[in-house]
Amino acid sequence: MSLLSSCVLPARNRSTRGNAWRPTPVLRPDGCNLNAMREKSVADIGDGDGDGDDNEEDDEVKPPKMLATILAPIANLNALLLSTPVHAGLFPYALLPTLHAARISLLHRALSEKAWEATSDDVRRTRGKPTWAYNIVGFLVMCWGGSLINNVILTSTPPFLLSIHPFINYVSVHLLLSVVLSLFPSLTPPLYLVDTSLPLLDGCLRTQAVVVSLDMVARSPNAAVRSSLLIQLIAGVVGSTGGGQLAGTLGLLNPAGWTLSTPPLLGARSVLPIIDIYAAFFATAAFGLTTASNAAYEPWMARLHAGKTGPILSPAGGRALATLIFAAAFAYRALMLHWVAAPPAATTSKKTRAVNGSAGANGHPKTSSRAKAAA
């Protein structure tokens, strides 16, 4: 997942030839353009051409009213997160990248602690705990890895090299959370609780990465890249999932040091561990199809809507639909992973279960009850 482009890229609204979708402007972190960042109003969610007029005669396809009703509050949430600074004077960075930094920081901390517990005593004695620099670099790769890969593919400059603001925004949040949770470990929220409570927020964060990635494609100086549907799909998936894949491939959480290994995507034996990749693909395709981001979508639109090929949704509506797809996938993963999946009873001794008492793995209540029943 990568939102750093939302911190440094200037606002723009450029159309490409034969392309009805205009890239959503992105946010600067210096507080200069925060008010200009608010996207289209809820009333315009189905106004595909983006001019705010739903009454004009053209070949646009209007979305069902029920769909517009469902997407309206999500569009409002996305607009709020994009346009609202944490504090206009003290911390003039938008809520969206700040919450992204906090979310990844909590995940990085949980995975790092798990990796440390799995480390052998010999490695612990010889290597010790990872340094702060080691920790911060791993965190930043998880945050910005997708954007970095996309910039390599598109041969463009990574946004975090253009401004110091992304580092201030992300590193300050990570350091603050790390220090506070180190001093007061009891304040660390259980991972199952975070995953279960925040699927919609996670959807907003991932969708921003998709939209920024598509904006990068639309701004490419190469006309072949701008018109390529395949590049759009790849960029959307990589931008929203590449950070985790890159961190797993490089072993950034390994206390013994970085190690090159098989990407997690290729080692997954079921859909659940990589459901975010599937969600990213469908969210990217849904955003592109409903906003007519590529001419390749026109035949599909014509078949579905009696020859009409105009966009169904505005960029705000397309973003809300992508957010809904991500949120549904993350809610399903949280349900299956933390509440439905059976605990590893075969590898847990009765003695361990007795010592654990009412607290199961990661303090999970349902796992605990099942462990008691197994004992």
Residue 32: which of 80, 75, 85, 72 has the closest Cα?
A: 85
Half-sphere exposure of 261 (CA within 13 A, CB side): 15
Average pLDDT over residues 21-44: 42
Cβ–Cβ < 8 Å for 8, 160:
yes
Q: Which of 17-26, 46-55, 118-127, 215-224 is the most confident on average?
A: 215-224
Contact 315, 75 (CB under 8 A): no
User: 123-137 pLDDT, tens per residue?
Assistant: 888 888 899 999 999
Q: What is the mean pLDDT of residues 25-45?
A: 44
pLDDT, tens digit, 9 for 90 and up, residues 315-329: 999 999 999 999 999
pLDDT value for 47: 60
How does the average pLDDT of the chain come out, rounded?
82
- What proportions of the chain, in percent to the nearest 5, are helix, strand and coil? 65, 0, 35
Q: Is the separation of the CB atoms in 42 and 199 below 8 Å?
A: no
35-64 per-residue burial string, b: 16 or more CB within 10 A, e: under 16 = eebebbebebbbbbbbeeeeeeeeebbbbe
Nearest CA-CA partner of 253 in 110, 375, 151, 43 = 110
69 or 359, which is more confident? 69
Q: How many CB atoms lie within 10 A of CB 366?
A: 15
Residues 173-180, mean pLDDT to the nearest whole number: 98
Could you tell me the pTM of the whole model? Answer: 0.80
pLDDT of residue 148: 97
pLDDT tens digits, one per residue of 189-215: 999 999 999 999 999 999 999 999 999
CB 51 within 8 A of CB 40: no
| Lowest model confidence (mean pLDDT) among 131-135, 280-284, 307-311 | 307-311
Q: Is the pLDDT of residue 275 over 70?
A: yes
Closest Cα to residue 99, out of 24, 193, 180, 174?
174
Q: Higher confidence at residue 188 or residue 58? A: 188
**Cα 191–chain centre separation:** 17
pLDDT at 361 over 50: no
pLDDT value of position 43: 45
pLDDT computed for residue 15 by the predictor: 40
Q: Residue 162's pLDDT is what? A: 94
Give the DSSP H or E segment for 85.
strand 85-87
Model confidence over 335-347: pLDDT tens digits? 999 999 755 444 4
pLDDT of 366: 52
Tokens 């991972």: give the residue: 191
